[in-house]
């Protein structure tokens, strides 16, 4: 069936998760962070994802803001940057103002002009996602923002991907699901979605039972993949 619905992961896919640490490192007063921000950003993201998986496996769900804070605390301590509480608070504040990748607004506009349904499907809590969408200025280009909080478990649980079908009444093969996380794209492929992995870093494909149908460098080609 033709694609009718384009669904995007949020963090790392539409929004640059390194933006908070990069911005803090450039601000006056945080000069000591300038040499550590890349490690902190990478560890922050890695732990953020690991903690979602562990919480899902152990059935100890908490919202993504709690997970995000826990992951940052680990990353700051690992980098020897945990001595300044003002830095921690600044990084958390900036996480609510993440930048959208440059191609995102035009890409979403092309999808909407082509009659596609557009949505986010994210681990993020609703308030966090609203902050990112507002900061990125893309709210008018999305039909829905779906959060795992409505099912109380993180990706890659199938209940999360089912949110798309439940909301839009579409068949699985009508959905193009886009994620920068290889494991997320693989899980969505196993669920039955057409999938695109945004591999900005040039990483190897995950060794998982299912593979994404498409691997792309950025989001500019999504309208073509959707058949527009």
The residues carrying an active-site annotation are 9
Exposure string of 44-58, with b = 16+ CB inside 10 Å and e = fewer, is bbebbbebbeebbee
Parallel/antiparallel/unpaired status of strands 214-216 and 194-198: parallel
For 108-155, give the secondary structure using H, E and C.
Answer: HHHHHHCCCEEEEEECCCHHHHHHHHHHHCCHHHCCEEEEHHHCCCCC
72, 88 contact by CB (below 8 A): yes
Sheet containing 117-122: give its strands across.
144-147, 117-122, 5-8, 175-179, 194-198, 214-216
d(CA 136, CA 162): 26
> Residues with Cβ < 8 Å from 202, sequence gap 6 or more?
none
d(CA 187, CA 161): 9
3-class DSSP state of 100: strand
Q: Which residues pair with 175 in a beta bridge?
A: 5
40, 110 contact by CB (below 8 A): no
């Amino acid at each position: 069936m033709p694609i009718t619905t384009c669904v995007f992961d949020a963090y790392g896919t539409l929004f640059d998760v390194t933006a908070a640490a990069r911005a803090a490192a450039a601000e006056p007063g945080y000069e000591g962070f300038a040499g550590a921000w890349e490690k902190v950003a990478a560890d922050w993201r890695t732990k953020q994802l690991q903690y979602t998986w562990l919480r899902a496996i152990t059935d100890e769900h908490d919202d993504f803001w709690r997970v995000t804070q826990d992951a940052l605390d680990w990353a700051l301590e690992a980098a020897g940057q945990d001595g300044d509480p003002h830095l921690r608070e600044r990084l958390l504040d900036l996480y609510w103002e993440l930048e959208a990748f440059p191609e995102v607004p035009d890409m979403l506009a092309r999808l909407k002009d082509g009659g596609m349904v557009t949505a986010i499907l994210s681990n993020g809590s609703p308030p966090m996602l609203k902050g990112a969408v507002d900061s990125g200025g893309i709210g008018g280009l999305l039909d829905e923002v779906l959060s795992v909080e409505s099912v109380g478990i993180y990706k890659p649980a199938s209940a999360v991907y089912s949110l798309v079908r439940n909301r839009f009444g579409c068949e699985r093969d009508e959905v193009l699901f886009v994620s920068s996380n290889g494991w997320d794209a693989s899980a969505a492929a196993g669920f039955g979605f057409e999938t695109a992995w945004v591999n900005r870093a040039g990483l190897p494909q995950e060794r998982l039972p299912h593979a994404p149908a498409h691997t792309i460098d950025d989001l500019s080609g999504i309208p073509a993949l959707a058949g527009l």
